[in-house]
């Protein structure tokens, strides 16, 4: 019998703020609103699962 280890289904996402062009990381299944750390613009909102992203996605980290 083989033991199977489940891979995580969520990833970290690198975003770019559309207002000030700041780049920051967020968790793909965030439970809170994500705001830009520089200009306070809303970048993503929680949906109970995967976040609804309102910024440019630069990279998805495995």
Average pLDDT, the chain: 90
pLDDT band at 5 (very low <50, low <70, confident <90, very high): confident
Amino acid 2: pLDDT:
63
Q: What's this model's pTM, rounded to 2 decimal places?
A: 0.78
Q: Which of 48, 51, 50, 45 is nearest to 33 (CA)?
A: 45
Domain chopping of the chain, boundaries: 17-61
Q: What is the pLDDT of residue 10?
A: 79
State pLDDT tens for residues 29-47: 989 999 999 999 999 999 8
State residue 1's pLDDT score: 55
Residue 2 and residue 25: Cα distance in Å, rounded? Answer: 35
């Amino acid at each position: 019998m083989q033991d199977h280890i489940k891979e995580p289904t969520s990833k970290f996402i690198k975003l770019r703020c559309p207002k000030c062009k700041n780049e920051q990381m967020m968790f793909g299944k965030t439970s809170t609103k994500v705001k830009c750390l520089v200009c306070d613009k809303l970048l993503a909102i929680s949906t109970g699962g995967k976040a609804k992203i309102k910024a440019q996605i630069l990279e998805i980290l495995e």
